[in-house]
Structure 1
């Protein structure tokens, strides 16, 4: 070939290559554009500026390698612009992540965090050769994490936290040798932690918290020598003991959290070898033993949180860790509440760092006095020392703590006055001093606490008037609780300045005067309790502006005048108690007044009208003429009754006052005992056991909470349990919890539901949480069986005669045990009804729900009837004894009455609250009219059908069935007599019920 032809050939080859390269470059650039457009088309919101008016490299959030820096060495002749970064966080993006996004083959950084992206993670990741950071946290992504993520060899940061991801953590993550940050928190990941993570030698940040991981921490994790941050908290089922070597291997660790899991055993002393540690959070686990004194050598530690464990400190030597911590000048938070500490609190606590901000040592059994030197800790912002058994006075030096935000000394035995120096707490917003023995007046200096949101000084011995200064604190929104003291005088008119006040409780004091009209300015008020005082006058019309009221209790005062009709308009009012006052005139009928279960007007002798269920006398048609005609006879009758009632009430209050001290002490002792007992199970365990308290596991609701079915690990075995979660927004729920725990942990009987454990903790949002765990009863409750509600949709519940007899005998046996209680103080159940009778797999009855139970002060006899009393009506409508409504006298005779009604309901199939029983008619009278000759006319139709079938087989059996039912009805009528002294004792009831059942069995030739 000649030279000229060779030259032409070379030119052709060069031009071909250039054209090929140009086409290739254009094609590759188009690939980036197409990937971005595909991503834009798959989502909505935030990307409207991505259009043809600009080159895609200039689109917001898009960054390109304009100079081709690392690729220019290979292709220097043409400048290329490839996408290397997408920064699109917090743009409210919705939709799915397009799989074509992986065609951005030079992408190094992807940040789509804090959006609302859905769907699954992309799987074809082989093109992302250069990717270094992926941040997809805080979206709504779901599905599993693809194993292909383990092929991203250049990846340094992977953040997938706060999504809905499930499945296990891919073991392929162990291939990410350059990974420094891994965040998979707040998902629904399960399974165990892969041991391959221990090979990530560059890892400095590991956050696997708030998942459902289980098993032990792989030993390889402690080989992560570069690790600075480790958070495995809130996985509930991570368990096992911590190895002694952990402190040696994790030498650079600065933050470690294993909170809310199931770790047990002791805390390794070798943890102190992790000399860089700044924060240790082991709360809500099952750690036992002593706190290692070596933790005090961690000079960089600012936070030590060990609450809700079983750690002990009883002897002086057990507190050596506290002595050692006095050398740590960096300590900010020391949280040790809810452990098993006992005895005197060492005085060395006052030598802790002056920079300490949080000191939490509540829910233990610490005693003695609070050290006077507590005022040395001038940096304190939070003090939690209750509940405990502290005595003595509140240290005067506490006034030096001018940075305090929260002061909680509640449920102790502190005495003396509230120091005036409390006014120094200008940053205080929560004050808890309830359930102590504090005396004197409320210091006026409390008005200096201008940031206060909530004050509770209840259940003390405070006297004097309520200082008006307390109402000069505009920030009080949650509430003021002063109940059960000896406060006197009127309510200051300044209360009207608290327009955002949510709760005001001054019940059980000695306050007097009228309701200030200014109270109507507290338009946010939801709970108002003024019962048990000496208030007078009428309900002011200005209260009509309190539209948000949910509960109003004005009972046991001297109020007079008409009941205002504006209360009918309060749509949210669920409880109204006006009992034992001097209200007069016609009672409204609408709104809250239309529901007999929401209102009480007992002891107001001059009220008339209202709904029929209240059984008030009718109002006269000509009120004025009627008043003139009957003025003197009415006064002649009412005046002695009123004076007599007042005398009785004064005597009653004196008796109550005498008992308050012992009752308050008893409650606090129960609280202490229960708090030790409670720590056997944590909130996390119950949350996991019930699948997050899922609606699917809800088996029932009651006045104080809800019951869930759960699967709980007990003695290394998963057992089905019933978890009763208290609704602490309901007034009385906390006391119900304490009463029930105390009652059930001191009694044992085959026909009483068995309490397994209890929990007093905080939930995932930091709110108080209380629950009781019982053995699960697979056959539900008697109410469901009696009234034919289904266990399963196609299997109606029916009890035959023999089964009903067995249940009746079981309940009688349980009550006999409670009332006799083996010679000890009788226990009054107070709320016997079918829904509180649970049935196990063999239909054996178990009495449950002791939330209203009381220890009777003494046994009740015909000659001397003494019983515990309370201001609230105990029991459920239809089953509660008549005397409870008149005198509120709680006695074992009340349980007998409830049992009688229960028997009548079991054998007639009629509820005592059916619509048939109105206007003076009752279940007892209905049955009594048919007894004994017409008993078959009122018997449950199911039993009649059974009797007819028996008649066809054996006439003798039918006669025996009739005799049996007549005998049971007789017992039911005797037990539900109106007079308590005419009712049978439970010992006799149980004996006769056994005899009736045995006779029926013999007649049927079963025995």
Structure 2
């Protein structure tokens, strides 16, 4: 019996280095993926174990060939947190990897480049950092790549221009920089133009330079979105891309607002596709006259945008915002230097936090702030925003983080935008003092003696006592952990992040929850039982 077990173990070990692998490889890869994740007690991964076949596990799709192999992982909005395992690169038959809408952190594993048959990769709406792996160029069958709404940095690898079947590329709302590679715009063979459309969404990054005129080779280009970057056009030749786009007969939307485009608007604009329905150019320093052929079109679009803006303003005005002075999106952009990576402080389940400097009528004098930008695409983020405003609206205590103001409106791409502005805590979180990063050069200067630790414990206890017993309504935090305890310049502790809080109201002789349930609350390892 022992000999048989040893033989089976050898077979599975051999599968890890086999270029083709087998279904034992797939099972080990999936279990490795699970081991690097954390999720709630009712997790969909609870049934991921050897007591049943991996093809029956939630999110796993297998093909019909024998032996059966994994061809897709469809795990969008599975409430997963943790790292993406590099062992997913061993799923050699994988065609689709969809992990969008979770709380995944770390980097995109370069081992995903081993998936030569991959056609769809979607890791959007997570908290991934690092750069785009150059190894993705090996995924020659890739047709759809969505890395949007993360914290990726660096340049787009020019090698991605070898992905000749890529027809959907979404990199919006990251921290990517550099020029848009010419190779990315000129890699599509003509036969693709006849059967599909191409969408490029690159807005809300830090791309600079000019738009390469090679973009005009994308004959099937349907949507080009470049808003909120640092792209420029000063000389007439810098506008060559606009003339090149006249070759794109299917173009429906062209957006490059809030960049550094200047000079005169070329007359070739009037030669763009007759299918064009969206043209957004605001937030630049363009001069000259509007070509007569599209003047009427632009007037109609302006009317449409004004109607949309009015509707958005009505929809985003809610009772939960009362009691706070409002601040505009553009003011927060200015305060945080465009939500730059330099000002990035960290991220949580429902949003990212940036350091900023606020001045003007909203505050008495210039002061440092922390801006929490909600990821509204994340499930329950809207609820988190409302709950935090409700919880802190009528609380006043020296050991609670103070809300200065809020922002509820639309951003430069007309998407809903919500942010909460707090006092900035220069000494960071308690977690950063207790679990120091080995690469942190200030680590030697950060030390908490026994007196400091007891003082912080008392500060937190005072905050909880106030929340539970002395506020206008009892509030239960539900996610108290070291990363949610912030330290000011005098090392006074302040409890923050009330996105999961419960507000209790008295009804007869009992206390009941006044906010709707959000299911499991808190962080695994910190949440109270029950």
TM-score tier after normalising by the smaller chain length: 0.5 to 0.7
Contact 2:48–2:57 (CA<8 Å) still a contact in 1? no
Contact 1:181–1:203 (CA<8 Å) still a contact in 2? no
User: What's the counterpart of residue 676 of structure 1?
Assistant: 340
Contact 1:180–1:203 (CA<8 Å) still a contact in 2? no
Equivalent pairs counted in the alignment come to 350
User: What's the counterpart of residue 693 of structure 1?
Assistant: 384
Structure 2: gaps (5+ residues): 1-39, 62-66, 320-324, 353-373, 430-464, 473-486, 495-530
Contact 2:407–2:417 (CA<8 Å) still a contact in 1? no
Contact 1:761–1:769 (CA<8 Å) still a contact in 2? no
**TM-score, with length taken from structure 2:** 0.54
1:255, distance to aligned residue in structure 2 (A): 0.9
Contact 1:338–1:675 (CA<8 Å) still a contact in 2? no
Contact 1:412–1:668 (CA<8 Å) still a contact in 2? no
State which of 394, 397, 409 in structure 2 corresponds to 1:728.
409
Contact 2:47–2:57 (CA<8 Å) still a contact in 1? no
State which of 359, 363, 382 in structure 1 corresponds to 2:253.
382
State which of 407, 410, 418 in structure 1 corresponds to 2:279.
407
Q: Does 1:256 align with 2:112?
A: no
Structure 1 distance, partners of 2:169, 2:161, is 10
State which of 290, 293, 300 in structure 2 corresponds to 1:418.
290
The superposition leaves residues 214-263 of structure 1 with CA deviations (integer Å, 9 ceiling, x where unpaired) of 1112233222222222110111x312223333212x22211110112122
Structure 2 distance, partners of 1:311, 1:407, is 24
Structure 2 distance, partners of 1:168, 1:668, is 38
Secondary structure of 2:121 counterpart: strand
State which of 295, 298, 321 in structure 1 corresponds to 2:160.
295
Secondary structure of 1:246 counterpart: helix
The superposition leaves residues 161-186 of structure 1 with CA deviations (integer Å, 9 ceiling, x where unpaired) of xxx9933512545565472884399x
Q: 1:414 to 1:169 in 2, by over 3 A?
A: same
State which of 313, 316, 319 in structure 1 corresponds to 2:181.
319
Contact 1:184–1:209 (CA<8 Å) still a contact in 2? no
Structure 1 distance, partners of 2:332, 2:469, is 49
Contact 1:355–1:378 (CA<8 Å) still a contact in 2? yes
The superposition leaves residues 6-26 of structure 1 with CA deviations (integer Å, 9 ceiling, x where unpaired) of xxxxxxxxxxxxxxxxxxxxx
Contact 1:420–1:445 (CA<8 Å) still a contact in 2? no
Q: Does 1:243 align with 2:109?
A: yes
Structure 2 distance, partners of 1:677, 1:416, is 35
Map 1:189-200 → 2, pairs under 5 A: none
Map 1:550-569 → 2, pairs under 5 A: none
State which of 308, 315, 318 in structure 2 corresponds to 1:478.
308
**TM-score, with length taken from structure 1:** 0.30
User: What's the counterpart of residue 454 of structure 1?
Assistant: 304
- Of structures 1 and 2, the one scoring higher in RCO (CA 8 A, sep 6+) is 2
Structure 1 distance, partners of 2:405, 2:68, is 46
Q: Computing the radius of gyration over CA atoms, which structure comes out larger, 1 or 2?
A: 1
State which of 401, 412, 416 in structure 2 corresponds to 1:767.
416
Map 1:804-953 → 2, pairs under 5 A: none
User: What's the counterpart of residue 223 of structure 1?
Assistant: 90
Secondary structure of 1:226 counterpart: coil
The superposition leaves residues 89-131 of structure 1 with CA deviations (integer Å, 9 ceiling, x where unpaired) of xxxxxxxxxxxxxxxxxxxxxxxxxxxxxxxxxxxxxxxxxxx
Map 1:262-411 → 2, pairs under 5 A: 262-314=127-179, 319-325=181-187, 329=192, 332-351=198-217, 353-368=218-233, 369-371=238-240, 372-373=242-243, 374-399=245-270, 400-411=272-283
The superposition leaves residues 590-644 of structure 1 with CA deviations (integer Å, 9 ceiling, x where unpaired) of xxxxxxx9xxxxxxxxxxxxxxxxxxxxxxxxxxxxxxxxxxxxxxxxxxxxxxx
Contact 1:722–1:775 (CA<8 Å) still a contact in 2? no
Map 1:761-800 → 2, pairs under 5 A: 767-772=416-421, 774-775=423-424, 791-792=466-467, 794-795=469-470
Secondary structure of 1:166 counterpart: coil
State which of 72, 95, 101 in structure 2 corresponds to 1:205.
72
Structure 2 distance, partners of 1:722, 1:305, is 34
Secondary structure of 2:73 counterpart: strand
The superposition leaves residues 731-760 of structure 1 with CA deviations (integer Å, 9 ceiling, x where unpaired) of xxx8xxxxxxxxxxxxxxxxxxxxxxxxx8
